[in-house]
Structure 1
């Protein structure tokens, strides 16, 4: 099975030769959000301006803030949203799929309008906003890539939450005992692989329902880490929960660039690994023998078996690899963001990573963009409190999950999972 044949099989599932129905879900959602932008971001602001601070805090290069008239700027952004919405409607009425870039650009315009609106009459620290968004998005991206590796091979990975949480716990404990973040990172990867081994054993070898196995694993890891946290770490936090944190590596000169410097050139090893992981995943998935075999066993396992690919062995390797990726990302919670392990430190981010994967249509780049969107939604409530926006704190706490629901409800119908995802492959000899 060649790469071109597999790509055509993914793009054209059975029955696609019939006239495709009009799918108006995405255009309708875009229209609703355009209306919200018009009513909230344009008509509720008066003669105010929004300051965007583009200087780095404590940096050698200090620039004057950018000043935007709030109403006019958001009116222009809303016009752009309306244009994209009309384009989406025309595509849907013509029974053509809405390109993913339309959704991505629309989301970017809506987020910018939201920032301008919240910052009306105040100063928005852009560098802090973007670096905070990247920090919160990092473990979600790793979780999405973990889910991608497993699900592209045909195994539903609901256990991303457990993999992230086990990586966070193991990294904090080992880094505290050894006073070494390197040891903590290795322990996080090993913990993620062990959790994945349980998922692979039951879902691939013993054909247990994969969603059920994933949920059970998450509950077991949650209960076990809570027990060890309260019984071990809390008894002597100085010894068991004071890990050596990831150092921040700044590239001289480049790290001083306003906005982009702290965002791209002054980060920890996990963030730099993230910058390499996503393009590497794109290349490997679509341009390597491993990627062809992975997609083959995820789309047409029987056909892959007939050409000599060991389906279950391939799935086993991919699930273990997914655990290593998730464990790596989970270590960022304790060795990067927080600096210590806490009960339920991941806060359901594994499920959000899974939503980002679905929203991103099982593609590395699109899933990453979706994860960044969720990271921005999480960071937005902090921004709102910083600029003094009069918004209910309860509503702000709900924002990431509201975004998740809208993303999955609005776009899951247009996303097609790998055809064999969730279906165990039973070889002829068994």
Structure 2
């Protein structure tokens, strides 16, 4: 068993002050929208529209393929003008390009939705709505919320422990949509009838806990769990241990120990899909960083290119040197502003040249810091070394697949070795080998 009772952590500067108190602003969508068929973990969706087709808000444009996949729905009304391969966040994928007519004509709500939906139908409505985990992992939510065979789920955990620096999208969602989040919990509780619901929040976001506590008044299953602000507090396995004292076995899933964990924003979307019949076509995203004149928390329609959000945030007061989809710990560097906001886009972070001044990589100095900060007790440098010499089998033996991709190792490494990047590539190679 790799996971120890005492999890390790780092304490990066959180840099949330510029957006912490900024209310969510809804923004208009641009003229051209881009919908990758890969907004989720698993098999890409299959386009089910053709060039020239007219779509509405909520029209199915990409259909889930296989068990682990997700539907893609248009977030605007307009016309399909192209279906093409494009470089997006996670590689080169098919994208559907829609010209927005700015009318935002909506498809009718799902007819089965309402206050008395049977528990058996709930996962189907979640799937129809295209909901995937909104904390960044983008696992198809209908799969997670389908009762696992032979297992009893007795605990729900809502992940509001927004430990990634700069992001405040979850915090603002909890403050401004607390009632919808609590109603989403009740929807899922109708499936599992759990004994306990925890909402994990870091101690730098206590205001959200107070709002949620008030929203849950009279619903005694809910407990607001205030957790120490540290990284990676929001990692699923750590969150489970800190809320319940239980541990997920190496190679196991939360359901193996009777737990389901999902992001707070995901529960809001569940409420909207099941009670209101609304698809997942928008999300709250923090657009932030020193170069921006006015960092903001925005309610953005999925498919909006990042470039179209810069002017909304006052433009640049300093030329950015680096842009990250996410934050500095787990995020991925992007080089094309045409990449769109997708289901897992919690925040976009811009950095100045001074902030990203990178020392040249040097040989490992054997300081062991990457081992010391790994929250799941791996040996990141050894996995990285194995990958770089092409020994994928060794990387697997060293536990690469247990890596939670928190980024602690790369953050702490004085030699500037791209440890997280190498481990991600090793994991991809291991998965490819298994196909």
TM-score by length of 1: 0.23
Structure number with greater Rg is 1
Structure with the larger helix share:
1
Structure with the larger strand share:
2
TM-score by length of 2: 0.23
